Structure formats: structure tokens, C-alpha cells
Amino acid sequence: MAAPYHALVESIFRRLYGPPFDRGEAVWNRGDGGRSPELDGQVPEGCSGLVMMADGVGGLDLCGTALRYVLGSLGSKLAVSVVPWGHGFGRWHADLTRVENRDAWARAIANAAGRFREEHPNSPIFLVAKSGGSGVMIRALEYAPPDCIDRVILLAPALSPSYDLSAALRGVRREVYVFWSPLDVVILGAGTRIFGTIDRVRSVSAGLVGFRPPRKQSSKVVIEAASAEDQGYLKLHQVRWKPSMMRTGYFGGHMGTDSPSFLKIYVAPLLRPE
């Protein structure tokens, strides 16, 4: 089922937008047989930077595929690699609950970012994630060296709102943009209350209410530590859904951020090398 589905999705986007710039050169070795996953193959010559994208649970990969083709249609020279971190088409529960798989892919992403930074020191690295993929990318930031990643975009993140982003924010040189919607009540409200978030908390998700900075405590030492963390939180920019986004096909629900028009208007401008 997975292979025909992905071939169909690719063919539709290719017909609508033409071939993407990278043409799939930067592919992932899934690390079967006890090996760790790793980015295999080379980014295309002349690329202006690297985008690694982790889609949501269940293997639909609509957002990542749309992003590759939208950027290609805009003339972007970014190499876009969709990270196949999940267990396969329809296996959303395994994706959501198998923490060791999430962390293995996070380490692989951090390693790939480090190698790209060594080989292309002047080219930007962007991380983009949708829903459950946000947990993979946030963990990757925690494994990455400080300031390794230029910018991060989280779409409808299925992380708990109280997740402490302090360690992850140290891996980002510029900003982390979070797109959230109070209307995403089915998946990121009821869904993660019942089945848990990608960081294994049974609660609503940050994609429904936004992230909350860590609370300061009464101890002077703790307050000083929290103040340092707050400086990192200055990198966090949270973008609430608004009705004007409906013109892009994003009506506030969970699938809206997959819309090519939304990605073109709201996400692509954040992926421009500066």
C-alpha cells in the first residue's frame, strides 16, 4: 500500500508543479538490520542550503512532499530531504509510542546537520516538522551542536505545551516558528489526550494552545537559571491561526498546514537564505 500511495502522491505533485530542484538525490538509509539511520547520497550541486522535513505520524507525508514541490516551483535551490522516520503507511500508533525510534532518527538528523555544516559552512540548514514529526526535530536540536541549525518551523506540533524547549533552542541560531490553531481540536485536543503526545504526555498539544515557557520558582538559583532559559525563548515565535489563512486552504484543522498554498505563503518565505 505504501509504495503505490507515495508514487501516486509524487505523480500528482509533479504534474502540478514540475520536478523539484533536488530530484531526490539526498535520500535516507533507514538503518534496518541494527544499523542507525543516516542520510545517504549527496545534496545536488549548486544547492543554496538544506531543508530536512519530518512529517506527522502514519506515513501520509503530504506536507513534506508538498513542501519539496512548492519550493521547486518557486525556483528555490534548497535541497529538501523528507525524513522517513515513521514505521510505514498507517502505523501511526507505533510512530507515536516508540520513543527509541524517534530518538534514533533525531540523532541521525543531528549527525546529518553536523556533516552538512562541515561541508557547506556558509549554507543554511532549516528544519521543518509537522505534528508528530515535531518531536523528532526537537530531539534532533537537543542532540545538535549549539547554533547548528539556522531556523526551525513547527506546524501543528504534537508536543505537550509544557515541553521545555530550552535545550532545543540552544541548537538554533535564529528562530523557531510555531504555527498553532485553537481549532485543531480533534487530533491535537481529543487525540493526544487519549493516545498521548509524541513526548508521551496525555494532554492537549502545543499545536492547539501554543508552547508555555518553563515556570520560574522561588529559589534565587532557579530564578537565575530560568532567566537564562528565557533568553533562549526569545527565539520562539508562535503564530496563531487566523481566519485570513482560510484563503490558503488552512481552515484551522490538522490537515490545513499540508496545503501547498499555505506552505507557499507562510512557510516558503521563512526558508530563504539570508
pLDDT at 225: 45
State the average pLDDT over residues 141-155: 98
30-44, 63-77, 100-114, 151-165: segment of lowest average pLDDT: 30-44
Q: How many CA atoms lie within 13 A of 187 on its CB side?
A: 25
Asked whether the predicted pLDDT for residue 39 surpasses 70, the reply is yes
Q: What superfamily would CATH give domain 2-27+37-271?
A: Alpha/Beta hydrolase fold, catalytic domain (3.40.50.1820)
pLDDT tens-digit profile of 150-208? Answer: 999 999 999 999 999 999 999 999 999 999 999 999 999 999 999 999 999 999 999 99
**Using 50, 70 and 90 to split pLDDT, how confident is the model at 43?**
confident
Minimal CA–CA distance to 249: which of 258, 237, 238?
258
**Using 50, 70 and 90 to split pLDDT, how confident is the model at 218?**
very low
| 62 or 6, greater pLDDT | 62
Query: How do the domains of the chain map onto residue ranges?
Result: 2-27+37-271
**Using 50, 70 and 90 to split pLDDT, how confident is the model at 44?**
confident
pLDDT at 3: 76
Asked whether the predicted pLDDT for residue 33 surpasses 90, the reply is no
**Using 50, 70 and 90 to split pLDDT, how confident is the model at 1?**
low
Percent of the chain at pLDDT > 70 equals 89
State the average pLDDT over residues 199-224: 78
Maximum CA pair distance of the chain? 60
pLDDT tens-digit profile of 87-130? Answer: 999 999 999 999 999 999 999 999 999 999 999 999 999 999 99
**Using 50, 70 and 90 to split pLDDT, how confident is the model at 4?**
confident
- What is the overall mean pLDDT for the chain? 90
pLDDT at 35: 66
The one-letter code for the residue type at 22 is D
pLDDT at 222: 46
